[in-house]
Amino acid sequence: MSSFMQLLCVELAIFIYYAVWKPQKQWITLDTGVLESPFIYRPDKRQEAWRFVSYMLVHAGVQHIIGNLVMQLILGIPLELVHKGHRVGLVYLAGVIAGSLASSIFDPMLQLVGASGGGYALMGGYFMNALVNFRQMVPLFGVFRLAFILIIVGTDMGFALYRRFLVGGDGLRVSFVAHIAGGLAGMTIGYVVFSCYNQKLLKDPRFWASILAYVSCVVFAIIFNIFLSPAT
């Protein structure tokens, strides 16, 4: 079983636990009981550093987890077949961390759930490669790939904006910034990683440039959370 299949099973198991065995109603949107999960990212518990990664295991409703699972199945598994698993994992994790840290800066008072940061990182890397190599593709195939990505992004962002601005009170709203930050991580680190194929990443100057930019942003986000965050 691929690493992405294992991750999908974990995400689905945690969703079922909160939606079925726990006395909650998480089928439509984020339930108040899920806010007490040790996995969710919450601004008032940001000192618990694992939450900046573990939030990807908790989802805000059935449409949220279905969207994430489909995205990971469509992108993650095929990418693993072409690239080594640890390369895909690197891009995915970079998107997850970028998503939570960016959310803690630009949406500091809201919680965060879902694997969209990682999924959008894979999509960002895939999109950049499709865009850069568009002329080398069969025209119809290239248009199909780009249109497919844009449809997924448009649909998922629609749900994300709905959860952010239209659902419930502030205690039930979740940030959508992770989508954007994950996509940007994918369009930089993901693009370099997925364009190397059989080349060694450590010998590619683009890889080091993207890593340096990424690390600089992460360091800034950590400093912000320690000294400047308005979250109590």
Q: What CATH number did the domain enclosing 108 receive?
A: 1.20.1540.10
Residues 37, 116, 175, 210: which is the catalytic one? 116
Q: Is 97 helix (H, G, I), strand (E, B) or coil?
A: helix
Beta-carbon contacts of residue 124 (< 8 Å; ≥ 6 apart)? 95, 182, 183, 184, 185, 186, 187, 190, 191
Do 110 and 170 touch, CB atoms closer than 8 A?
A: yes
Q: Looking at residue 105, what is its pLDDT? A: 94
Q: Looking at residue 223, what is its pLDDT? A: 94
Residue 174 β-bridge partners: 111
160 band by pLDDT with thresholds 50, 70 and 90: low
What pLDDT, in 10s, does the model give residues 94-150? 999 999 999 999 989 888 888 888 988 988 888 887 776 656 655 555 567 667 777
Answer yes or no: is pLDDT of 172 > 70: no
Q: Looking at residue 36, what is its pLDDT? A: 80
Residues 179, 195, 210, 229: which is the catalytic one? 179
Widest CA span in the chain? 54
Do 141 and 75 touch, CB atoms closer than 8 A?
A: no
Q: CA-based Rg of the chain, rounded to a whole angstrom?
A: 17
Q: Looking at residue 224, what is its pLDDT? A: 94
What pLDDT, in 10s, does the model give residues 1-45? 667 778 888 988 888 887 766 655 544 455 556 778 899 999 999
User: Known catalytic residue: 64?
Assistant: no
User: Known catalytic residue: 210?
Assistant: no
- Tally of domains within the chain: 1
Range of the domain at 111: 3-228
Do 117 and 178 touch, CB atoms closer than 8 A?
A: yes
